[in-house]
Structure 1
Amino acid sequence: MTQPHDPHHDPRQQGPQQPPPQQPHQGHGPPQAGPPPGYGPQPGYGPPQPPQPGYGPQPGHAGGPPGGYPPPPKKSSAGLVIGIVAGALVLVLLVAGGGLWFYVSSRGGSGGEVTTFENLSADHVEPGETVSYDMFPPAGGPHYPTWQNCGVYTEPLRAELAVHSLEHGAVWITYDPSMAPDDVAVLESLYTSGDYLVISPMEGLPAPVVASAWGSQLTLDDPADPALTDYLREYVQGPATPEPGAPCSGGISESEAEVGLLIEDGTIATTGA
């Protein structure tokens, strides 16, 4: 073993040196996994392909620089232990009569609670029909034949359109309309042209920020919580997406109030992907 160099040490003033004792090798196991890779829109409607680093504009969207999210901060070993213990506490419930299974698990580290839903219907309903969803905001279920275009909105959106966007792999980030403008700007900065994100205000949320993907939902108190970017990496075009790679443009760009007028005029398409 090489010893640190001491400029005041003279080896000639000592007797023969004995070789240092051999230390047993202490392996450290396989290297820890790095940050999750990026994600990208999947072509076509088949099964999702393995995620590729980064992602680019989706078909039909105006081109823009590739999006992405900053890597999450490193977590301490104590935080990891807490996360493992919290993740092991899983509560499974069955909603009576609805046939809807879901479980709630706590994320360790930065916080945030993710609820996962299964057996969600993807049926189409007539434009103008109001769907009674089993969760709020909706994270999947029946929806209109056309979808809400991905992007940033300053007015509430019609849920039946946004849910169709979730079916195509988008994450719908909703926030309390009373949120401070600086906090809203933090959420809006997550969107880059071509991303599968819908961002809009919504009244009556269970938390200041709620991010919904098809079959899952994250609630947060802080829009800058790194758990949000972790969630986006995992659930944008995630494994539960029914139609990965289907478009998130070429649909409806109007707010909820404006959509009501389009329905009255009969100008919303009655068929769609």
Structure 2
Amino acid sequence: MSRRGTSGERPRGLLIAALVVAAVLGVFVAVVVIDRGQRAASEPPEGVREFTIPSRNHTEGAINYPQTPPAGGNHNPVWQNSGFYADPVRNETAVHTMEHGAVWITYRPDLSQAQKDTLRQLAQSRDCIIASPYPDLSVPVVASAWGVQLQLDSADDPRLEQFVRAYRIGPQTPEPGAACTGGVGEPS
């Protein structure tokens, strides 16, 4: 074999190596950018209040929770099925579903039909979301997950979706992987 054949292969080999390195760097940069974007999308929104939840035992009776609506604590042994409800649900069953990773969106019963439809669509778009009316709320909409809560003036507030992305089956969930169906309640 002549030297000419060997020297012609060297630039081709360098070109291939350079292309491989460029492809690997391109993939690395894409992964970093995508990861940053996903983390930013799942960051908690402004205004989230955090609560220490001292216990999470099963109990049959009614519970007097320190937050309205509750953001966690002792609860009924049976959980509330996720979905949209036109009637109020029991605190104790909804809290159990939050223990499983649900976001419980409560709304004033007199919320406009358009706002209720927005909440219905959100609750039906993913598992582990409960939406139900809650009498005597101090604001139109409250989103709660285990140990966290966000008060909102509207179901259209973009922070609601951000809250759901950050906390539905999020890192605060005491029992990740537990079901949000197979409990009580018939969503409408």
TM-score of the superposed pair, with normalisation by structure 2: 0.75
For 1:167, the aligned partner's letter is E
Taking the TM superposition and a 5 Å limit, the aligned residue runs for 1:190-269 are 190-192=122-124, 195-253=127-185
Q: Percent identity?
A: 46
Taking the TM superposition and a 5 Å limit, the aligned residue runs for 1:22-33 are 33=36
Of 37, 53, 59 in structure 2, the residue corresponding to residue 119 of structure 1 is 53
1:210-262 per-residue CA deviation (whole Å, 9 max, x = no partner) reads 0100000010001101000010010001111100110111110159xxxxxxx
Structure 2 vs 1, CA of residues 118 and 142 (structure 1 numbering), >3 Å: closer, same or farther? same
Q: Which residue of 2 aligns with 1:17?
A: none
Q: Give the deviation of 1:37 after TM superposition.
A: 8.0
Q: Give the whole-Å Cα distance in 2 for the aligned partners of 1:147 and 1:163.
A: 8
Q: Give the deviation of 1:180 after TM superposition.
A: 0.7
Q: Give the whole-Å Cα distance in 2 for the aligned partners of 1:192 and 1:37.
A: 24
**Residue 180 (str. 1) matches residue 115 (str. 2):** no
Q: Give the whole-Å Cα distance in 2 for the aligned partners of 1:247 and 1:196.
A: 8
For 1:239, the aligned partner's letter is P
More helix per residue: 1 or 2?
2
Taking the TM superposition and a 5 Å limit, the aligned residue runs for 1:55-204 are 107=46, 113-126=47-60, 129-192=61-124, 195-204=127-136
Q: Give the whole-Å Cα distance in 2 for the aligned partners of 1:162 and 1:137.
A: 10
For 1:34, the aligned partner's letter is G
Q: Give the deviation of 1:38 after TM superposition.
A: 8.2
Structure 2 vs 1, CA of residues 220 and 194 (structure 1 numbering), >3 Å: closer, same or farther? closer
Q: Give the whole-Å Cα distance in 1 for the aligned partners of 2:86 and 2:131.
A: 8
1:140-187 per-residue CA deviation (whole Å, 9 max, x = no partner) reads 001011100111110000100000000000000000000110111111
**Residue 34 (str. 1) matches residue 33 (str. 2):** no
Q: Give the whole-Å Cα distance in 2 for the aligned partners of 1:242 and 1:232.
A: 16
For 1:130, the aligned partner's letter is A
Structure 2 vs 1, CA of residues 193 and 229 (structure 1 numbering), >3 Å: closer, same or farther? closer
Kept in 2: contact 1:210–1:219 (CA 8 A): yes
Q: Give the whole-Å Cα distance in 1 for the aligned partners of 2:123 and 2:111.
A: 18
Q: Which residue of 1 aligns with 2:4?
A: none
What SS class does the counterpart of residue 187 from structure 1 fall into?
Answer: helix
Kept in 2: contact 1:36–1:233 (CA 8 A): no
Q: Give the deviation of 1:114 after TM superposition.
A: 1.1
Q: Give the whole-Å Cα distance in 1 for the aligned partners of 2:124 and 2:84.
A: 10
Q: Give the whole-Å Cα distance in 1 for the aligned partners of 2:157 and 2:149.
A: 15
| Matched length | 154
What 5-or-longer segments of structure 2 have no aligned partner?
A: 1-31
What's the Cα RMSD here?
Answer: 2.4
TM-score of the superposed pair, with normalisation by structure 1: 0.53
Q: Give the deviation of 1:31 after TM superposition.
A: 6.0
Kept in 2: contact 1:120–1:215 (CA 8 A): no
* RCO comparison, higher one (Cα < 8 Å, 6+): 2
Q: Give the whole-Å Cα distance in 1 for the aligned partners of 2:144 and 2:58.
A: 19
